[in-house]
C-alpha cells in the first residue's frame, strides 16, 4: 500500500476510498500526534473545521468533528469556507489545528482531508507519516469533562473577507469583473470581497447544491467565464476552483491568463512596491520557459521546485521569499497567507490593473510562453512512471529531438491516479506530436 497522504492531504472517492471511518480515525490520530509533539501543551486543544459544498462533506465533517471531540479537542465548526479561509482562521482564532474537507478542483464524487498546524501552516511530511502510522491504534479515551465540545461560529465569513480586502494596496473602483465561483466554497465570499474593494461584480456558477461543484465551471473549465466577460464587456474575469485556493483569469477578449502570467503580474507589482523579498519568485518545474525568461529579463530571480504548492511553500519558508505559485493558479503571497489563496490572487491582480490603469492582457504580455501541451494518461501504474527503462528512453529521445527549443516533463500526479506528460516546443503541432507519442509509450508499458 502506498502512502496515504498525497501532495495535498488525503484524497479519494468519498465513501469508497475516503470513508467516514477513515476520516474519524485520521482526526483521532492527528490529535494524538500533535498533542505528543507539544502542540497542545499547557492548555485544552482547540480545532477549526471547514468544508467545501460537496454533499459528501456533510458526513465527513461529522466524522472529523466526532473524532476530534472524542479525543478531547474542542471544535469550532466553520461551515462552507475556502481552504485559505480555514488556514487563515486557524491562526486568527488561535486554534491548535485546522481541518479542511475538500478535493479542490477534483470532480464532485471525490473528497479530501487536509490538516493545518497552529498558525495555519500545512503539516510537515514527518507529521503526516506519524498520523498515518497511528491509525486505529488502541488509546485511552477521555470521559466526562475530558471530551471535546463542539460549537459553531457565525463570524467567519466576515473575518476572512475583511482580511483579504485589507491587504490590497489600491481599490478596485472602475473595474467591471466577472467571477466564476465553480459552485464551490467561494460562492458568497468572492463577490463580497470584490464588491467591498470597489469593483462592479457579476457572478456565475454561484449556486452550489452539493452536486455541481467544478461541473463544467471554475478554473478547470474557463469557457463560461470567457463568454460572460465578452458578453458583459467586462474588464476581466476570475475563475476559482472548488475550494478557492487557486485562481485563473480571462482578459476582456475572453483569452485565458494562466497562473504563470498571474504570478508574473504580481511579481512585478511587488517588486515595484519593494515587497518582493530577495527579488525572488518561487515557481515549479511546470512553469513555462517563457515565464522564467520574462522574470530574469525583469531582474527577478526564479527558484523552482517540484510540482505541488506544499513544495513551493517549503522553498518560500526556507528562503524567506514572499511570492510563489504554480501554473495551475495556486499563488502564495506569504505576507498575507500561509497557503494558496484564489481570492487574494484575483484581488491583487485586479488592484494592479486599477492602480496602473492597464488591461490585464497588457500586464500579462510580459510573458511570451512557449507552446505547451499537457496530456493526462489515466489507467497506468504511476509508481513506475519515472523508472521504466522504455519510458525513460522515449523521454530522452524526445529531449534530443527538441534540443534547446523545448523541454519534456513526465510526472505522476500527486492528487489523481494518472501520469502527466508535459511538452514545450517551438510550435503547437510539434509539442502535441511529441506529447502524444510519449503518452502512447506510457500507456503501452505502464497500463494496468
- Do both 238 and 119 map to the same domain? no
CATH label of the domain that carries residue 401: 3.30.310.50
- Do both 184 and 313 map to the same domain? yes
Q: Which residue has the higher pLDDT, 404 or 147?
A: 147
In-domain check, residue 116: yes
- Do both 383 and 332 map to the same domain? no
- Do both 135 and 217 map to the same domain? no
Q: Which residue has the higher pLDDT, 325 or 405?
A: 325
In-domain check, residue 268: yes
- Do both 348 and 409 map to the same domain? no
In-domain check, residue 260: yes
pLDDT in tens, 299-358: 999 999 988 888 999 999 999 999 999 999 999 999 999 999 999 999 999 999 999 999
CA angle 289, 392, 417 (to 5 degrees): 80
- Do both 35 and 178 map to the same domain? no
Mean pLDDT of 425-435: 94
DSSP 195: H
pLDDT of residue 2: 62
Which domain-ending residue is among 300, 329, 364?
A: 364
- Do both 187 and 254 map to the same domain? yes
pLDDT of residue 167: 98
Domain hosting residue 237, numbered range? 159-364
Spatial distance between the Cα atoms of 232 and 176, rounded to a whole number of angstroms: 9
Mean pLDDT of 440-445: 94
Closest by CA to 327, choosing from 417, 246, 223, 213, is: 246
- Do both 82 and 213 map to the same domain? no
In-domain check, residue 287: yes
CA angle 122, 100, 349 (to 5 degrees): 75
pLDDT of residue 1: 45
Mean pLDDT of 281-298: 94
- Do both 165 and 29 map to the same domain? no
Q: Is the pLDDT of residue 39 over 80?
A: no
CATH label of the domain that carries residue 263: 3.40.120.10
- Do both 418 and 335 map to the same domain? no
pLDDT in tens, 201-219: 999 999 999 999 999 999 9
In-domain check, residue 3: no
Which domain-ending residue is among 119, 139, 154?
A: 154
In the structure, what pLDDT confidence band is assigned to residue 239 with cuts at 50, 70 and 90? very high
pLDDT of residue 404: 81
Give the range among 18-32, 70-84, 172-186, 434-448 with minimum mean pLDDT. Answer: 434-448
Domain count of the fold of the chain: 3
pLDDT in tens, 344-369: 999 999 999 999 999 999 999 999 99
DSSP 94: T
Spatial distance between the Cα atoms of 334 and 340, rounded to a whole number of angstroms: 9
- Do both 173 and 194 map to the same domain? yes
Question: Are the CB atoms for 370 and 218 separated by under 8 Å?
Answer: no
pLDDT in tens, 147-164: 999 999 999 999 999 999
Spatial distance between the Cα atoms of 18 and 382, rounded to a whole number of angstroms: 20
Strands (E), 118-265: 121-122, 150-152, 176-180, 200-204, 236-240, 247-250, 256-257
pLDDT in tens, 90-132: 999 999 999 999 999 999 999 999 999 999 999 988 999 999 9
The catalytically annotated residue of 56, 70, 102, 104 is: 104
Catalytic (active site) residue 283: no
Question: Where does residue 306 fall: left (phi above 0), alpha (psi -120 to 50 degrees), or beta otherwise?
Answer: beta
pLDDT of residue 414: 74
Question: Where does residue 381 fall: left (phi above 0), alpha (psi -120 to 50 degrees), or beta otherwise?
Answer: beta
In the structure, what pLDDT confidence band is assigned to residue 3 with cuts at 50, 70 and 90? confident
Q: Give Cβ neighbours of residue 219 (< 8 Å, ≥ 6 apart).
A: 105, 180, 182, 239, 240, 241, 246, 247, 248, 328, 329, 342
Q: Which three cell numbers stand for residue 76?
A: 469550532
Contacts 24+ apart (CB under 8 A), 115-118: 115/9, 115/30, 116/86, 116/87, 116/90, 116/338, 116/339, 117/34, 117/39, 117/90, 118/39, 118/90, 118/91
Mean pLDDT of 24-42: 89
In-domain check, residue 5: no
Give percent of the chain above pLDDT 70. 99
In-domain check, residue 207: yes
The Cβ of residue 397 has, within 10 Å, a number of other Cβ atoms equal to 15
- Do both 168 and 215 map to the same domain? yes
Amino acid at each position: 500500500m502506498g502512502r496515504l497522504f498525497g501532495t495535498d492531504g488525503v484524497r479519494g472517492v468519498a465513501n469508497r476510498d475516503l470513508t467516514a471511518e477513515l476520516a474519524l480515525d485520521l482526526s483521532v490520530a492527528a490529535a494524538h500526534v500533535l498533542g505528543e509533539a507539544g502542540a497542545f501543551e499547557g492548555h485544552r486543544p482547540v480545532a477549526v473545521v471547514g468544508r467545501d459544498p460537496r454533499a459528501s462533506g456533510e458526513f465527513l465533517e461529522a466524522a472529523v468533528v466526532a473524532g476530534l471531540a472524542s479525543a478531547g479537542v474542542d471544535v469550532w465548526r466553520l461551515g462552507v469556507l475556502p481552504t485559505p479561509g480555514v488556514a487563515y482562521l486557524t491562526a486568527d482564532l488561535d486554534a491548535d489545528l485546522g481541518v479542511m474537507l475538500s478535493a479542490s478542483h477534483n470532480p464532485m464524487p471525490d473528497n479530501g482531508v487536509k490538516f493545518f498546524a497552529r498558525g495555519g501552516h500545512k503539516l510537515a511530511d514527518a507529521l503526516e507519516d506519524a498520523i498515518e502510522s497511528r491509525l486505529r491504534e488502541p488509546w485511552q479515551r477521555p470521559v466526562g469533562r475530558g471530551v471535546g465540545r463542539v460549537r459553531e461560529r457565525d463570524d467567519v465569513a466576515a473575518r476572512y473577507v475583511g482580511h483579504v480586502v485589507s491587504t490590497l494596496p489600491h481599490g478596485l473602483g472602475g473595474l467591471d469583473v466577472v467571477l466564476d465561483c465553480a459552485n464551490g466554497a467561494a460562492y458568497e465570499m468572492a463577490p463580497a470581497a470584490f464588491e467591498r474593494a470597489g469593483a462592479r461584480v457579476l457572478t456565475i456558477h454561484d449556486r452550489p447544491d452539493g452536486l455541481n461543484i467544478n461541473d463544467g465551471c471554475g478554473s478547470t473549465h474557463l469557457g463560461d467565464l470567457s463568454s460572460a466577460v465578452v458578453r458583459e464587456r467586462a474588464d476581466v474575469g476570475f475563475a476559482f476552483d472548488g475550494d478557492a485556493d487557486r485562481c485563473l483569469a480571462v482578459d476582456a477578449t475572453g483569452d485565458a491568463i494562466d497562473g504563470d502570467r498571474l504570478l508574473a503580474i504580481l511579481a512585478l507589482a511587488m517588486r515595484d512596491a519593494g515587497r518582493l523579498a530577495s527579488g525572488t519568485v518561487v515557481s515549479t518545474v511546470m512553469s513555462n520557459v517563457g515565464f522564467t525568461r520574462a522574470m530574469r529579463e525583469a531582474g527577478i530571480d526564479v527558484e523552482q521546485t517540484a510540482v505541488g504548492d506544499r513544495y513551493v511553500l517549503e522553498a518560500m519558508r526556507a528562503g524567506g521569499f514572499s511570492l510563489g505559485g504554480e501554473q495551475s493558479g495556486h499563488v502564495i503571497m506569504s505576507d498575507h497567507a500561509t497557503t494558496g489563496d484564489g481570492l487574494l490572487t484575483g484581488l491583487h491582480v485586479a488592484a494592479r490593473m486599477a492602480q496602473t490603469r492597464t488591461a490585464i492582457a497588457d500586464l500579462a504580455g510580459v510573458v511570451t510562453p512557449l507552446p505547451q501541451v499537457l496530456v493526462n494518461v489515466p489507467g497506468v501504474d504511476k509508481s513506475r512512471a519515472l523508472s521504466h527503462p522504455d519510458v525513460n528512453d522515449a523521454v530522452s529521445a524526445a529531449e534530443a529531438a527538441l534540443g534547446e527549443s523545448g523541454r519534456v516533463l513526465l510526472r505522476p500526479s500527486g492528487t489523481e491516479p494518472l501520469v502527466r506528460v508535459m511538452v514545450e516546443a517551438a510550435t503547437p503541432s510539434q509539442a502535441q506530436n511529441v506529447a502524444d507519442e510519449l503518452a502512447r509509450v506510457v500507456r503501452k508499458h505502464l497500463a494496468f
